[in-house]
Amino acid sequence: MRGWRFIAQRALGDKRILDWEVPLALSTNPKRVLSGPGQMVGTIEPEYARMIGSDGLPVLQEWGTKVYLEIDGHIRWGGIVTDVGYDGPKMTVTCEGLSCYPSGIPFEDRIASGELITPESKYMDKNHDGYIDGSKPRRKMPPEAEPYPGPRIDAFDAFRAIWKHVQSRPYGNIGLAIDDHKLGEKLGAEDGKDPWKLEWWDNPDCGQALDSLTKDVPFDWLETHQWAGDGNEVEHRIRLGKPRLGRKREDLRFADGENIAAVATPKGMADEFANEVVVLGAGEGQKMKRAQVHKFDGRLRRVATVTDKTLKADNALRTRGEQELAGRTMGVQIPMIQVIDHPSASFGSWNLGDDIRVQLHVPWVGDVDVWHRIVADEISADGLCTLELKRSDSFHY
């Protein structure tokens, strides 16, 4: 495709551009993922002397180099080199989106939302005789104050707090900004009986904490990159959905014989069908958290059981159940389509999270006209783009 080039930049330090034309041949197409980092793999062969930077370090260095795909002046993919392998004169380079960085980074602080707070007494009774120490005349200790619910924080504030912690550590600032608006949903129960906590002594992984928060609430996020300043700087941002990103695209069309070049085998319900879902969460025995949702539709009762010990809040368990139920009661789903650049939906006209209308013929099913969400895309140099899809009615946020 015309106008393609790969660009390398130092991840830290002065973040200067190291190479404006990295001779990378793609092994896998650059993939963007909704609420995920995405990935790209390529090779360089033969060995190029210029792949050593002016600082004496390899241009493509694990966790030291950012790589961008620019198409016609716009950055269509950005990430960081996470692995480099060598096989004679051939070098294999694996890159992942910048949002992969928190994975494996320990959280070394404490955040709590909606926890019970027990007020400290201003009186002392060190000998436990029931009287206030040093009181004259002797006075009895007052009744202990009742615990009360502590402050609760917005889910987006918690997301930003984890990212701030990651990037505030030495050599950890990858220059990723986070949207500053609020979701409007606070973590933890109002009565303080089911708080949300992230505490260093539990040895939490920042990447896992971010993933859990995204799924439990839930909400969308998307990593983006664009030129800034004088054209030699790149702005990295995570866009936050409230509660989801994307919109219904009545202005785009995806149809057989028009711009759909290939279709992955459609998925039916088959063994996955269920019209009732039981979700088992945190806790053991009779104290285990549990939620049950159903959608009886004239068919025999079929039950799916989901276990996720990270779920503690009642609303999180129910949300998980509703998502599972929606995915198991839907009709035919088109998992992927490959499209050409076409006026009906030109490349770059859609965003991840958008709902698009997919119209095609499926053998044994007939004509399908169903709205799907774009959850990932891969653009290739041969002028095709693959869209990964999920039925729109499987989302309930």
- Find all residues with CB under 8 Å of 272, minimum gap 6, and list them: 304, 327, 328
pLDDT score, position 41? 97
List every span in the chain annotated with CATH 2.30.110. 4-100
pLDDT score, position 271? 63
Judged against a pLDDT cut of 90, whether residue 144 lies above it is answered with: no
List every span in the chain annotated with CATH 3.55.50. 103-119+142-244
From CA 205, how far away is CA 198, in angstroms rounded?
10
CATH of domain 271-330: 3.30.1920
The CATH architecture one would assign to domain 4-100 is Roll (2.30)
Evaluate whether the domain defined by 103-119+142-244 bears CATH number 3.30.110. no
Q: What tens digit of pLDDT does each residue of 172-231 get?
A: 999 999 999 999 999 988 888 889 999 999 999 999 999 999 988 889 999 999 999 877
Lowest mean pLDDT among 74-83, 103-112, 360-369: 360-369
pLDDT average, residue stretch 154-158: 97
Q: Where are the alpha helices (DSSP H) in 128-224?
A: 155-168, 206-216
Angle at 374 between CA 206 and CA 32, to 5 degrees: 50
What percentage of residues in the chain have a pLDDT greater than 90?
A: 56
The CATH architecture one would assign to domain 246-268+331-397 is Roll (2.30)
- What mean pLDDT, rounded, does the chain reach? 89
Judged against a pLDDT cut of 60, whether residue 1 lies above it is answered with: no
Q: In the chain, what is the straight-line distance between the N-terminal and C-terminal CA atoms, in Å?
A: 37
pTM: 0.82
From CA 217, how far away is CA 185, in angstroms rounded?
8
| Kind of pairing between the strands at 303-307 and 36-44 | unpaired
pLDDT average, residue stretch 239-265: 92
